[in-house]
Chain A
Amino acid sequence: MGKTLKWRLKVSVLVLAAAFFTFTNYSCRSQPAPATGDANRAAAQPSPGTTAAPPPAPTPPPYPSTFPQGFPAAVVSGNIPLAVPTPIAADNVTTPEGARPWFDYFSWESFIALNWPAQTGTRGVPNQPNDPSVFYGAAPGTPVVWGTYKDSFELFGQGNNRPTPWETYDEPVNPCGNTQTGQKVLTFFSKGNNPLMQTKEAFSYPLIDQQRNYVYYDIRYDKAQYDFVRGQDGDQSTWLYLYKNLAAKEPVQMPQSTASPAVLGSIMMKSAWRLKTDKDDASRYYTVSAQLYDPASKTCQPATVMLVGLHIGHKVAPFTAWVWSTFEQVDNVPPTGQPSPTPPPNGYSFNNGTAQPATPNGYDYRPPVDFQPDPTQRKPVQVTRINAIPTTPAGASTVEINAYFQQLLKGTPWQYYQLVVTQWPSNPGAQNVTLMEQGGVYPQGAGSAFPVFGAVNTTAETYFQTQNDAAGAGGNSCMSCHYRAGQTDFSWGLNRRAH
């Protein structure tokens, strides 16, 4: 290694250390305790609308002894974290890998808050966010906070109509006119057919589950991001959903979350859903009622869909290249590259439980892009996970943090979800981000993304799992892909769908 690299290594470590000290400090409890409020979380107004007394919240289990000394207490809260917690000096964190538990904690706490039951009659507001019993007692199908965020169709799919204000549910253009207020409309049957990818993006194909049904995808934005792109009523130059305005303002900078002052910044969510059938145990899934748009008949049909994948992108200071978390339902695929000896009770969603057919790059084939209306003509895609859920750092790896939070969420369908990976810029701050248009290169230009590659979701990036397959997308990770949308603050939705 040349001197240049050694020097850069030293600088990187120093910057990393400095960045940690600039993070918001959590209290250093070695054992978790239920929390009722937190200055580092987005505060929400208590809801007056609860009627039935929910069950009492369980006591959080103790942390394993292998967790870091300064690991923050796990809380079940509807307040979205506004900062990534900071290791304490005693934990001696000097590498991004060593910092992974804190980011995984942030991912899980965000997951809980975003999946908190939503207040009715509004959007993006948790119902009694400081009362864990509301979360534990939520009935199946209860709308959750992120589920009430604005769909990308409401922002970019309204033709010449101006997108409606945040609280509004009545959209001028709605492919499913029979939708009830707040009901989910799933119009995309594949990422490949998604307007995000309609520019001949390679390797984007539908995903077909073991029941021969398509997976549907949904993209939503929180209020900060939606309002930023929608712009101000009196200033048309701020209407960034119009390409002419967007291009003039690139590179754009969306609002970011800060702990002090407490501001909830931009969050974008991408979710993957499969149809509920009588062969499924719905108690292991978050389920909702939805309208499915059939591109063949151009009609919508009601269905119950089950959440199988969830991306969370959160622009939270000082991570101007965002923090990226991705979750999956645990029954999607076998836990390693090969089928588990003890498959889930109703089988895997995207794997037949055997080693055949082979999945050399994580899948056995890619279905045709064109929608196949007849389910009997569809062939399930055999999927395996190529990039294992991180097992480092030892004692507090993603696998071990998953086990803790799944225990914490016992009694809810959320216990059947797992964090696949958290990816973040390990050299945070705008000064460490150099966009491609400015000559930057990944990963250093993206603030030194960590991990660099191998951060994908088997339901949303089924065909991007290997570097070879994802070469056309910039790489097999959230940040390597979204770095290419740097001019639009890493949002492909804004990059490709402004019109």
Chain B
Amino acid sequence: MDKKSEIALERRRSAPQPEESSSPAPTATATLEAPPPTPAAPLGDGWWMYHGGPQHGGYVSDSDITAANAAQLQTLYTIQLGGPVLSVPAVTDGFVYVGVANYHDTQDGTGNGGALHKIELASGTIVATFSWNLGQDNEDIHSFTGMGTTPAVTSDRVYFGAFNGKFYCLDKETLNLVWSTDLRNPDTKHNQPVSNINGVAAGYPPAVMWSSPVFNADGSRLYVGCGEGENPQMYSFVFCLDAASGDVVWIYCTNLFCTNDVNAPNVLPEQAVPVIPPPAPFSIFKGEPIVMGCSVWGSIAYDAESDRIYCPTGNQQPEPDGNWQPGQPVKPELPSPGFSNGLLSLDAATGQFHAFFQVPPDSNYRDSDFDIDVGSSPVIFDDAGQKAVAIPCKNGSLFILDPDTLTLRRTRQLLPKMNDGTQIPTVDPHPVDSNLDPHVSNDVSNATPGENYSGAFNTPAFYPGSDDNPQTISPRIFVALGGPNYHSPSPGIDYETTPFMRAVDAATLDDAWPLDGGDPPKYTKPFIHDDANGIYAGMYQTAGESGLSSPAVVNDVVVCTTSKISIYAFDVRDGTLLWHDDMGMQTDGYNGGYGYCLGAAVCKNYVVAGALVFGRDGGVLRIYGLPTPQASA
């Protein structure tokens, strides 16, 4: 049962074999230049890139982990990494590849930089580390200095972007540097003409990469977004890089230049190009885009059949209600100008525009929602014989789109409402004064612009259904709910009414798990009484516990991590909580963050998750497994 494999769909590529690397043996910190690049890398195996593959389904079937034995999962290793983890690791070929957001052990002694570790699954040992220094004044807006992306690990290379605006390619064996391309500053060696530092001198943050890289079908090219959503002067770009050399193949600016025409690839805003004319194939747009922001935060998805990429975009800058004062009417953010708050489809080979979908206004939980953002990554999946793209949004809604036109097939608001359809005051509250009034009525929230901290901040997982005949478990989509938990008006989700993960039937978007008869209805299974600790564990139990992560599905088990900071395994059938573990405590601001685990990676019989937790080290990585993982790993 239950072996319909999505992985097979993602293993369709045949690529030239790389040249043998002559890199030195693994070292604790490797920064030397490696041998010359190979022309094209073969793609990876296991959980080798963001959400398991370029379609981002997050589904694994070549594992022995099932609902029948998930309760036996145990911690194999707990590893300190010298900094917090703000990404999902890659796990492939017996090793974990994971970056840290702030690295304490930088070579320059400032403790301000980043690192990527290679860790042996079987022993939990860090076998190689690649690190970089930033200096004291170089960090992202949240004070992160390292990286927050999942590396893409091919048979011989490791690729990732970092908060310093650089995109790295390392030798897989040694983590020695093969090449790096600066996507923030001009890098003529790699045909990169863009300078994306507007506003930095005025105190705004520079361009960074939160977008994990994705490959095209033959592994010759990779795609990544680079920008910053909190800088009103910043441009946003999608870069296509040659995987072998790091040279820029094409660039697409996601800031729309003209109201009545879409941007062409390789046309760059004049303000972002310090040397004019730029090298071929680039040209200049003179003037200002109609809107700034529109940054590609999430990982781009790739569809080999159509050779298209799908780029999620953030909110516009400036916000229409950025200077709102009490008493003023709300200016709805949607519809918003340009390629903001939506999903952009481009031709993978050329960067040509194909389609754009913007989140519709009526999909907001509240009309007064702003900073809408699509921070998650799209998932390409089999929609009952048709291909589809699923994308959730911070406004709480999930959208199923036609992959060619990006027209909306169906949608659902995932945040709960009362049975009569009214909003719940404690869901997505917008206080006028966050200090003084934590109990916000619907009337106040609907008349006050505010960010929806209860919505979907990360990527869904797709379960393809059982392959029994007839099928006993329908295909379903799992979406984590709730964002950062440090905002005083809304510390995470309203845990008493809102599940930190919603399970919906892929065909209908109705809840796939049994609900009680309450108002609002809640799942009946995803919690247990933890007798050992005298508490309930699971959904609806812990204040401030948000999903904010990307769930992963292994056979008939869905794994979800939270801001508590905990990891849970549920039965995909009905949500029965099968297993859970606490990874650490929230930080209340220490270590540059507040407590996150952004999701688990599953590879064979291993479940691997990193987190930002309380403690001097600030981060932790846990490797979980079945009691005898070596037997089948």
List A residues at the B interface (Cβ < 8 Å). Answer: 1-6, 8-9, 11-12, 96, 202-203, 360-361, 365-366, 368-369, 426, 436-445, 448, 450-453, 466-472, 474-475, 484
21 pairs across A/B with beta carbons < 8 Å?
A: A1-B531, A3-B71, A5-B528, A9-B532, A11-B532, A203-B438, A203-B488, A360-B439, A366-B437, A368-B436, A426-B534, A437-B615, A438-B615, A439-B78, A439-B584, A448-B534, A450-B534, A467-B495, A467-B543, A471-B492, A472-B491
Collect the chain B residues with CB atoms within 8 Å of residue A361's CB: 438-439
B74 within 8 A of A: yes
> A8–B438 contact, CB under 8 A?
no
Q: Which residues of B contact A203 (CB under 8 A)?
A: 438, 488
* The 4 A-B residue pairs with the shortest CB-CB distance in the complex, in nearest-first order: A2-B71, A467-B543, A471-B544, A8-B532
Is chain B's binding surface mostly helix, strand, loop or mixed?
loop
- Taken residue by residue from 400 to 418, chain B's Cβ proximity to chain A (1 for < 8 Å, 0 otherwise) reads as 0000000000000000000
| Contact partners of B260 in chain A: CB under 8 A | none
B579: chain A residues at CB < 8 Å are 2, 4
Question: Judging by beta carbons under 8 Å apart, are A440 and B585 in contact?
Answer: yes
**Contact across chains for A202 and B534 when beta carbons are under 8 A apart:** no
In chain B, positions 458-487 with a C-beta closer than 8 Å to chain A are 485-486
Whether B435 lies near A472 (C-beta < 8 A) is no
Q: Within 8 Å of chain A (Cβ to Cβ): is B22?
A: no
Given the complex of chains A and B, what is the CA–CA distance between A193 and B530 in angstroms? 38
Question: Given the complex of chains A and B, what is the CA–CA distance between A451 and B533 in angstroms?
Answer: 10
* Residue B288 CB within 8 A of the other chain: no
A203 vs B532: C-alpha distance when bound (angstroms): 31
Contact partner, A366, options B436, B496, B578, B583, Cβ 8 Å: B436
B542 within 8 Å of A (CB atoms): yes
- Check A369–B435 contact: CB distance below 8 A: yes
Do A1 and B528 touch (CB < 8 A)? Answer: yes
Given contacts A203-B488, A443-B535, A474-B588, 16 further A-B contacts (CB under 8 A): A4-B72, A4-B74, A12-B533, A202-B488, A203-B438, A436-B615, A439-B620, A448-B533, A452-B534, A453-B535, A467-B542, A467-B543, A468-B491, A472-B486, A472-B491, A484-B614
Nearest chain B CB to A461's CB is how many angstroms away?
14
Number of interface residues of B (CB under 8 A): 42
- Chain A residues with Cβ below 8 Å from B439 are 360-361
Write the nearest CB–CB distance from B552 to chain A, whole angstroms.
19
CA distance A452 to B492 in the complex (A): 20
Most buried by A among B439, B578, B579, B585: B585
B494 CB within 8 Å of chain A: yes
Name A203's closest neighbour in chain B (CB-CB).
B488
- Name the one of B436, B588, B614 contacting A365, with C-beta atoms under 8 angstroms: B436
> In the assembled complex, which residues on chain B have CB atoms less than 8 Å from the CB atom of A365?
436-437
Kindly report which residue of chain A lies nearest to residue B617, judged by CB atoms.
A437
> Which of B435, B535, B544, B613 has a CB less than 8 Å from the CB of A468?
B544
For A436, give its contact among B486, B528, B584 (CB under 8 Å). B584
- Of the candidates A448, A451, A471, which one forms a contact with B491 in the assembled complex, judged by CB atoms under 8 Å apart? A471
B616 within 8 Å of A (CB atoms): yes
Known contacts A5-B531, A202-B488, A436 near B578 by CB under 8 Å? no
Which chain B positions have C-beta within 8 A of A470?
A: 543
Contact between chains at B436 and A436 (CB < 8 Å) = no
Closest Cβ of chain A: how far from B111's Cβ, in Å?
16
A441 to B486, CA, bound (A): 19
**Chain B nearest CB: distance from A251 CB in Å?**
11
**Nearest opposing residue in chain B for A450, CB measure:** B534
Contact residues of B with A, CB < 8 Å? 71-72, 74, 78, 426, 435-439, 485-486, 488, 491-492, 494-496, 528-535, 542-544, 578-579, 582-586, 588, 613-616, 620
Contact B534 A3 (CB under 8 A): no
Nearest CB in chain B to that of A466: its residue = B543
Q: Which residue of B lies closest to A359 (CB)?
A: B439
B residues in contact with A360, CB < 8 Å: 439
Which residues of the other chain, B, contact A472 by a CB distance below 8 angstroms? 486, 488, 491, 544, 588
Give the Cβ gap from A400 to chain B, nearest Cβ, in Å. Answer: 22
Separation of A9 and B535 alpha carbons in the complex (Å): 12
Give the Cβ gap from A108 to chain B, nearest Cβ, in Å: 23
| Max count, chain A CB within 10 A of own CB: residue among B492, B579, B582 | B582
With the chains together, A9 CA to B530 CA distance in Å?
8
The residue in A368, A369, A471 that gathers the most chain B C-beta atoms within 10 A of its C-beta is A471
Q: With A203-B488, A470-B543, A484-B588 in contact, is A452–B532 under 8 Å at CB? A: no
Which residue of the partner chain A has the closest CB to B586? Answer: A474
Interchain CA distance A437-B544 in the complex, whole Å: 21
With CB as the reference atom, state the residue of chain B lying closest to A366. B436
- Residues of B with C-beta under 8 A to A5: 528, 530-532
In angstroms, Cα B535 to Cα A442, docked, is 11
Q: Is the CB of B494 within 8 A of A444?
A: no
Residues of B near A436 (CB, < 8 A) are: 584-585, 613-615
Question: Which residues of B sit under 8 angstroms from A466, Cβ to Cβ?
Answer: 543
Chain A nearest CB, measured from B618 CB (Å): 10
A437 pairs with B438, CB closer than 8 A: no
Contacts of A2 in B (CB 8 A): 71-72, 578-579
On whether the beta carbons of A452 and B74 are closer than 8 Å, the reply is no
Q: Which of A360, A361, A468, A469 has the most CB of B within 10 A?
A: A468
Q: What are the residues of chain B within 8 A of A467 when measuring CB–CB?
A: 495, 542-544
How far in angstroms is the closest Cβ of chain A from B541? 9
- When distances are taken between beta carbons in the complex, the residues of chain B under 8 Å from A451 are 534
Which chain A residue lies CB-closest to B543? A467
**CB of A13, distance to nearest CB on chain B (Å):** 9
Given contacts A361-B438, A443-B535, A444-B533, contact A437 B491 (CB under 8 A): no
B498 to chain A, nearest CB (A): 12
Chain A neighbourhood of B578, CB < 8 A? 2
Chain A residue with Cβ nearest B425: A360
Measured in the bound complex, the distance between the Cα atoms of B485 and A474 in whole Å is: 12
A452 and B435 in contact, given A439-B615, A472-B588 (Cβ under 8 angstroms): no
